[in-house]
């Protein structure tokens, strides 16, 4: 891989116009650095639901990371198990860039294309690690929506693949690029609340559902492919005035409330807030030593950590889970209160959420501002930019993005441990160095899951 000097001014000038030149570091003989408009980074989208772009689901909503990509690269292929969604995605891509992408059902058609440089993953959680690892090993960089993994073992494999391949992988925890969170960490690191003692992450609870009947999957959906690595089960769906899909189901968007495919709010919002708390505490290369489920309520009965009813949502609806580190620092994860993070120090506290930053230390910034470069130092000694732009800048510079695989694995491990403790209803002792649950073989068995035959991670 050749090195070319990277200039931010030139990047800005070229990225303002959607059809302008973008950046790329070479592979297979391509010139690195800035290239012509017809040689911009080529992106393949795997999963085109609402986190990719809400409009692809048939909802005229604002959510999704995909609209941030066209200033820097071109989608040349889209993939989804749902025919309607991938076709809508193709229409959107053509609207953005004027050229229709290839439309495929199986993500391996994207992995196998040698001309695709970046894989953008917005599938349900249980597919993330497999696709990301295979993309890295095929020589592609990756933007993967959060949470990065379904299990702790998948996180280890992601770390190993990223380290071995040297690929650039950005996780979609966009709060790492939001001003309020960066500023909160800068205030903490400047000692404005004294010695940091505790962070309380309020992430809300998961919803409940009525009994959801087993029905035939719609013709537009390849249910077997949607399930992929997880066990084969019946498709369930019940129309109603609930959520963005106006339904209860085991599928689109609602997959979040089934432990089979996600971790509920513990890995949904937990992937955001626990990540920020871990970052602020300086614990991104370690983990807690104990995880205690003070309160954990589920909407169905559990036995040995598994739900006994497969007709209803099963992730935790109410919880207070304490994660304690070796030095006594603590992260509380709870469902009740104002969504956001309360940081408590020896000399004060502050609260931060999306667009809100409050506390005495924050008020005092008016008379005693932070020093020059304080925010940039938090942001890995780089100027603050949009999360997507940070990814593309990292691609050209071949340097670690703001939301990297390694730190996200550590913070998400805390979330996964919280889920295991909640499911089993007991405290866990964790060895963060060797990444094992101590003296509890049953709990340790939840660290990994066996993939369905034919859907194993290809190494």
Q: What is the pLDDT of residues 231-244, one digit of tens each?
A: 999 999 999 999 99
Q: Do 280 and 426 lie in a common domain?
A: yes
Q: Do 146 and 261 lie in a common domain?
A: no
The proportion of the chain whose per-residue pLDDT surpasses 70, expressed as a percent, equals 92
Q: What's the pTM value of the predicted model, to 2 decimals?
A: 0.93
Average pLDDT over residues 4-32: 36
Q: Do 308 and 209 lie in a common domain?
A: yes
CATH number at residue 335: 3.30.360
Q: Do 84 and 215 lie in a common domain?
A: no
- In-domain check, residue 377: no
Pick from 177, 207, 234: which residue ends a domain? Answer: 177
Instruction: Please check whether residue 229 is in contact with residue 450, taking contact to mean a CB–CB distance below 8 angstroms.
Output: no
What is the extent of the structural domain holding 134?
8-177
Predicted confidence at residue 451, as pLDDT, reads 97
Q: How many domains does the chain divide into?
A: 2
Calculate the average pLDDT of the chain.
92
Average pLDDT over residues 125-152: 98
Is residue 1's pLDDT more than 60? no
Average pLDDT over residues 90-97: 98
Helical axes 152-165 vs 125-137, angle rounded to 10°: 20
- In-domain check, residue 283: yes
Q: Do 162 and 302 lie in a common domain?
A: no
- In-domain check, residue 225: yes
Q: Do 170 and 215 lie in a common domain?
A: no
Q: Do 435 and 289 lie in a common domain?
A: yes
Instruction: Please check whether residue 52 is in contact with residue 61, taking contact to mean a CB–CB distance below 8 angstroms.
Output: no
Listed in sequence order, the DSSP H helices in 23-177 are 50-53, 83-97, 108-111, 125-137, 152-165
DSSP summary character for residue 214: B
Is residue 280's pLDDT more than 50? yes
CATH number at residue 68: 3.40.50.720
Average pLDDT over residues 123-143: 98
User: ∠ at Cα 254 (251, 256), nearest 5°?
Assistant: 105
In a 3-state reduction of DSSP, which class is residue 185?
Answer: helix
Name every residue whose Cβ is closer than 8 Å to that of residue 362 and which is 6 or more positions away in sequence: 187, 350
Is residue 305's pLDDT more than 90? yes
Q: What are the tokens at 380? A: 């890995």
- In-domain check, residue 86: yes
Q: Do 282 and 423 lie in a common domain?
A: yes
Q: Do 219 and 267 lie in a common domain?
A: yes
Q: Do 19 and 158 lie in a common domain?
A: yes
């Amino acid at each position: 891989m050749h090195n070319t000097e990277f200039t931010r001014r030139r990047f800005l000038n070229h990225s303002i116009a959607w059809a302008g030149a973008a950046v790329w570091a070479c592979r297979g003989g391509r010139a690195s650095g800035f290239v012509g408009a017809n040689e911009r980074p080529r992106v393949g989208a795997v999963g085109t639901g609402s986190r990719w772009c809400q409009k692809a689901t048939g909802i005229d909503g604002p959510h999704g990371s995909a609209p941030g990509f066209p200033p820097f690269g071109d989608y040349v292929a889209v993939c989804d198990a749902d025919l309607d969604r991938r076709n809508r995605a193709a229409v959107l891509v053509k609207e953005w860039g004027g050229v229709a992408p290839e439309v495929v059902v199986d993500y391996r058609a994207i992995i196998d294309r040698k001309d695709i440089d970046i894989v953008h993953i917005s599938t349900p959680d249980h597919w993330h690690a497999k696709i990301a690892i295979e993309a890295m090993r095929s020589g592609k960089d990756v933007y993967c929506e959060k949470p990065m993994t379904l299990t702790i073992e998948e996180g280890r494999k992601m770390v190993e693949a990223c380290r071995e391949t040297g690929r650039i992988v950005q996780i979609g925890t966009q709060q790492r690029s939001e001003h309020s969170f960066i500023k909160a960490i800068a205030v903490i690191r400047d000692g404005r609340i004294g010695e940091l003692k505790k962070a309380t992450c309020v992430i809300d609870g998961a919803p409940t559902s009525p009994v959801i009947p087993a029905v035939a999957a719609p013709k537009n959906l390849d249910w077997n492919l949607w399930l992929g690595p997880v066990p084969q089960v019946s498709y369930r769906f019940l129309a109603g005035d609930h959520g963005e899909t106006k339904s209860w189901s085991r599928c689109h968007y609602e997959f979040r409330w089934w432990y089979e495919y996600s971790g509920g709010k513990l890995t949904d919002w937990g992937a955001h807030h626990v990540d920020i708390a871990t970052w602020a505490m300086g614990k991104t290369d370690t983990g807690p030593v104990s995880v205690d489920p003070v309160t954990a309520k589920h909407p169905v009965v559990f036995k040995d950590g598994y739900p006994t009813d497969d007709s209803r949502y099963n992730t935790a609806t109410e919880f207070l889970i304490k994660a304690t580190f070796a030095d006594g620092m603590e992260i509380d994860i709870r469902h009740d209160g104002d969504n956001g993070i309360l940081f408590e120090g020896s000399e004060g506290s502050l609260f931060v959420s999306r667009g809100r930053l409050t506390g005495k230390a924050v008020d005092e910034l008016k008379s005693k501002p932070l020093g020059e470069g304080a925010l940039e130092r938090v942001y890995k000694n780089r100027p603050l930019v949009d999360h997507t732009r940070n990814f593309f800048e990292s691609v050209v510079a071949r340097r670690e993005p703001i939301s990297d695989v390694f730190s996200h694995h550590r913070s998400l491990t805390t979330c996964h441990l919280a889920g295991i403790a909640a499911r089993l209803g007991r405290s866990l002792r964790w060895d963060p160095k060797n990444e094992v649950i101590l003296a509890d073989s049953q709990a340790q068995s939840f660290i990994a899951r066996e993939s369905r035959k034919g859907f194993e991670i290809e190494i």
